[in-house]
Amino acid sequence: MKGSSSIVSVVALIAVAILYVLHFTQNNEPGEKSTEKEAVAGVGSSFKIAYVKADSVILNYEMAQDLHDEFSKKQEAYNSEFGTKRQTFEREAAAFQEKLQRGGFLTEQRAIQERDRLVGKEQEIMKLDQELSGKLAEVQSANNKQILDSLLNYLQEYNKDKKYDYIFNGAEILVGDEAHNITGEVLKALNERYTQSSAK
C-alpha cells in the first residue's frame, strides 16, 4: 500500500502544480478587458508583475506543515491496520499450506473450504488496501485544495492594494528579477494569519 499511496501523492502534487500555473498565469482582475491591456501596452506602459515561489510556500507554510503531519498520522494508522490484517492472513495461509502438505485435513472437501475461505480473506485485504489508499488520496487532495485556496484568497486580498497585472508561480520562472519575488512577504503574512486563526 505504501507504493500506491506514494504514487497517489506524486500525482496529487503534479495536479497542484498545474493548478498553480493555471491560477497564477490568469489576470487577477478578470473584469478588465484584454483590449484595454493592449491599448496600454501600445502606448509604452509596462505591466506590473510579481511572482511567488509556490513550492517554497508549501514547504514553509505552517498550515501545510500541520496538514502534512495530520496526513502522516492517518497514513501510519492505515498502514498499521492493513499490515496487521495482512500478517494475520499470511500466518493463516502458511498454516493452511503446512496442514495440507502433511495431510492434516480429514477430507478434500474440508481443505477446499479452507482454501476458499483464505482466498476470500485475501480479496478482502486487497479491497481494504484500495479503500485505504483511496481515503489517503482524498485527504491529500483536500489538503492541497485547502492550501491552494488559502494562498489564492490571500493573493487576491494582497493584490487589491498592490495592483499587479500578473502574479506568476515562480516555480515556472527560470530567470527573474528578485525585486519581483514576493514569496517571503506572502509567506510571512500567510503564517501570521494562520497563527492568529489557530489561536482563536
- pLDDT tens figures, 166-191: 998 877 777 778 888 899 999 999 99
Q: Max alpha carbon distance in the chain (Å)?
A: 95
Confidence bin at 105 (pLDDT 50/70/90)? confident
Q: Residue 50: helix, strand or coil by DSSP?
A: strand
> Residue 1: its pLDDT value, please?
52
Choose between 71 and 45: higher pLDDT: 71
> Residue 9: its pLDDT value, please?
53
Q: Tell me the pTM.
A: 0.66
Locate 31 and state its grid cell. Answer: 473584469
> Residue 55: its pLDDT value, please?
87
Of the candidates 44, 58, 47, 45, the residue with the CA atom closest to the CA atom of residue 9: 58
Confidence bin at 164 (pLDDT 50/70/90)? very high
Provide the mean pLDDT of the chain.
81
> Residue 106: its pLDDT value, please?
84
Of the candidates 114, 116, 115, 134, the residue with the CA atom closest to the CA atom of residue 126: 134
Range of the domain at 33: 2-199
Distance of CA 53 to the CA centre of its chain: 17
Whether the pLDDT of residue 14 is over 90: the answer is no
When divided into structural domains, the chain yields a total of 1
Cα separation, 57 vs 61, whole angstroms: 5
Counting residues of the chain whose pLDDT is more than 90, the rounded percentage is 54
Confidence bin at 103 (pLDDT 50/70/90)? confident
Whether the pLDDT of residue 108 is over 80: the answer is yes
Whether the pLDDT of residue 165 is over 70: the answer is yes
Counting residues of the chain whose pLDDT is more than 70, the rounded percentage is 76
Choose between 25 and 157: higher pLDDT: 157
Locate 187 and state its grid cell. Answer: 509567506
Compute how many other C-beta atoms are within 10 angstroms of the C-beta atom of residue 14: 10
